[in-house]
Chain A
Amino acid sequence: MGRIEKKHIDRIFNRKYSIADHRMLSEGFKQGDKLEDTRELVEQHWDEFEEPQEKNKETLNRVYNQINEIIGKEKHSRKLSLIHYLTKVAAILFIPLLIASLLLWNQRNEKNQEVATLNFEAPYGIRSQFTLPDGTKGWLNSGSTLKYTAGLPSQRSVELEGEAYFQVKRDEARPFYVQTDAFDIKVLGTKFNVNTFDGEVDGDLVLESGSVQIIDRTNKNKTLMVKPGQRITYEKKLGAYYRSSVDVDEYINWIEGKLVFQNEPLKEVVKRMERYYNVEFEIKDEALPSLKFRAVLEEELLEESLRYMSLVLPIEYKIIERQKNSDGTVSRRKVIITKN
């Protein structure tokens, strides 16, 4: 193979290049005697490169915010533990963990194979623990459901809505699949958290240990390997995945009953509090939903959490207790938030 030249790079840049062009550059990028030549060519290209003036403002803003979030984490970790301490007030709302309720055991025959679906559900206000027949264990966050299809010999598969933490039993011969609205996940044996609740992103995966593979829902050939300590988020509208390194604990301490907010807008904060406390929120002011809130709330009563929020944010709250409706049903408790 010859030397890499500017024309190879130009053709790649213009997205009209041959297999040979591609090979030339990938060889040039590898560690070895060609690397220095490639570096020189690319550096010259960088110096002469005239960037298009079309600014991807939105894209670059998003990237900047992600960077800031990662950088911010180192700086705020000390502050967090202080808040942590301050909010460790007496009241405790620790619902004894429910071993997941078996809602449905529905059996049907399929080609001499017994296929059964198990449904696990964690209602609002309750986190539950589940154990699947293959030995996989995990936690289901409030307002989430998990469907398990048992009896398939070659694979293990669950469907998840909401958020769950998994400790998958290792079995190389039978990969464990998690299907979600956002993406599918292929697992051999590992610990990880998945969150597909409506929020700033559509899918959110954080890997604690081992390795998993994300499989795109629209293009099964598009896959993404994830390493421990990494977080992958997915934005459905753009079909885009983002990778970052995170402190895994902050994403999985909900299983211990902690409610962690990492500089999240109030509108996302109340969504999670609605599920956690089984209440309904109403925000009365247009400017409030975008206020950012950062805290670790550890098993507080609703009132305690709200009181803390009203100390750090310019808000006031009012709780409307359950009411009996005319049709005999009982409404949920409601919290109304107004500007202070």
Chain B
Amino acid sequence: MNSNLRNIESELVKKLKEGDQQAFAELFERFSNRLYHFALGYLGSGPIAEEIVQDVFLKIWEKRADLKPEQSFKSYIFTITFNSIRKFFIRKDLEESYKQQFAAEFMVHTSRDEERIDYEWMLKEVDRIINKLPERRREIFILSRKEELSINEIAEKLDLAPKTVKNQLTEASKFIKEELKDNNNLELILYFSLFYK
């Protein structure tokens, strides 16, 4: 990095350490765009990237007393950014885990498939298929997969016989398999994924 730039930055950090809000604004101006696009790349969502920018800069402000003006601010901000991106990625992964299980059950047949099937396409495809289920069946299916409730728990919650719940789940699986069998898109996507590998 240009040593002049480095000097200005270390000046700003020194001021921020003393609680100068103007310096904080200046550092936000210098780093927020970079941070926003970096987070956007990892999480693929504008609102989450915004949350990360907020998260990181709030932490910088809270911990301003610990700042070390002689060290690179760019690496300091990276440490906070990395932890924030990690946290949001793990949360996103958790929220999508039932869709991943859905894919493992209905869409992935060989270990090669995992490398071929486009992840974001998979998310959309799972939503599309689940949304095609009749309402009651969809509700039961989601309780079973997303909320991970047992057949008896679902039966109790919805005031149904366990046998009814079981039948509905079987019907749902049958429907999904049928839906995916007729789907030519899958092959297209496989081809596309091979292409970029």
CB within 8 Å of B: which residues of A? 11-13, 15-23, 25-26, 29-30, 39, 42-43, 46-47, 49, 51-52, 55-56, 59-60, 62-64, 66-67, 70-71, 153-154, 173, 221, 238, 240-244
Total inter-chain residue pairs, C-beta < 8 Å: 115
Q: B50 to chain A: which residues have CB within 8 Å?
A: 59, 62-63, 240, 242
Q: Which 7 A-B pairs have the closest CB atoms?
A: A13-B41, A26-B93, A51-B34, A20-B114, A240-B47, A20-B115, A29-B86
A282 to B33, CA, bound (A): 40
Q: Is the CB of A11 within 8 A of B196?
A: yes
A211 to chain B, nearest CB (A): 14
- Whether A240 pairs with B193 at a CB distance below 8 angstroms is no
Note all chain A residues with C-beta closer than 8 A to B28.
Answer: 60, 64, 67
Answer yes or no: B36 CB below 8 A from chain A CBs: yes
User: Are A16 and B42 in contact, with the CB atoms below 8 A?
Assistant: no
Given the complex, which residues of A lie within 8 Å of B118, measured CB to CB? 16-18
State the main secondary structure of chain B at its contact with A: helix
When the two chains form their complex, are residues B82 and A66 in contact, meaning their CB atoms are under 8 A apart? no
Contact with A along B30-64 (1 / 0, CB 8 A): 00111011100110101100110110011001000
Q: Are A19 and B103 in contact (CB under 8 A)?
A: yes
Nearest-CB distance from A182 to chain B (Å)? 15
B residues with a Cβ closer than 8 A to A are 21, 25, 28, 32-34, 36-38, 41-42, 44, 46-47, 50-51, 53-54, 57-58, 61, 74-75, 78, 81-82, 85-86, 89-90, 93, 100, 103, 108, 113-120, 122, 127, 130, 156-159, 193, 196
A19-B100, A64-B28, A67-B57 known; A55-B33 Cβ under 8 A: yes
Name the distance in Å between B134's Cβ and chain A's nearest Cβ.
15
Q: A20: which B residues are within 8 A, CB to CB?
A: 114-115
Is the CB–CB distance between B33 and A56 below 8 Å?
yes
Residue of A nearest to B34 (CB): A51
